[in-house]
Amino acid sequence: RRVHGTLSECLFFFEMKLPLTVLLLFVVVIFGDVDEDSDVVTGTADNFEEEVFGSKYGTLVEFYAPWCGHCKNLAPEYAQAATELKGTVKLVAVDATVHNELGSKYDVKGYPTLKFFPPGSEDPIDYDGGRNAAAIVEWCQAKAEEYGHSPEVKELTSDADFLECLEKKVCVVAVLPHLIDGGAAARNEYIETLKSVAGKM
């Protein structure tokens, strides 16, 4: 059943339907936030490690040159794909004429060059899909399914937490047994199961 309202109202609903020992709500955020000012993240030598290696999502990186005609043609398609993939795969654009150390490190020999970094990996995979938004989305979704991502797990403790969850593209709210019913080990097992399933969605 779909439940609307504040966290307090939803807790009241759950308490009426479930044993009183079930008290804590956990949320698995499957799709998190990306820079709200732009769906394509600007990559630099300074933020590359954080934005790419530190991302819980797979990341597609475009190495481009401002004067490159093919790069200019790709730009609107790349931006559209970034919007459609927001919260599933992160799209980053690096000006390789400015950050040439990154271009050299990843063997960029022409523009644009696109490489996909699985979540937490420093070893990219060459992008071999089409150069339009639909093709980029399809290719990245296949990689997201293959490699998954690391979902965020938060405990809901306030109306603000609940409303933040509702702002996500997709989230899962789980009602877990109280610690006295199974202990920390059982609780952690539930959470790991949720993360494993969510990471493949």
Active site residues: 68-71
- Of 71, 63, 84, 95, which Cα lies nearest the Cα of 135? 84
Residue 77 contacts residue 136 (beta carbons within 8 Å): yes
**Pairing of the two strands 125-126 and 113-117:** antiparallel
- Of 187, 71, 52, 60, which Cα lies nearest the Cα of 127? 60
**Pairing of the two strands 89-95 and 58-64:** parallel
Residue 6 contacts residue 164 (beta carbons within 8 Å): no
* Residues with Cβ within 8 Å of residue 175, at least 6 apart in sequence: 14, 18, 22, 24, 25, 26
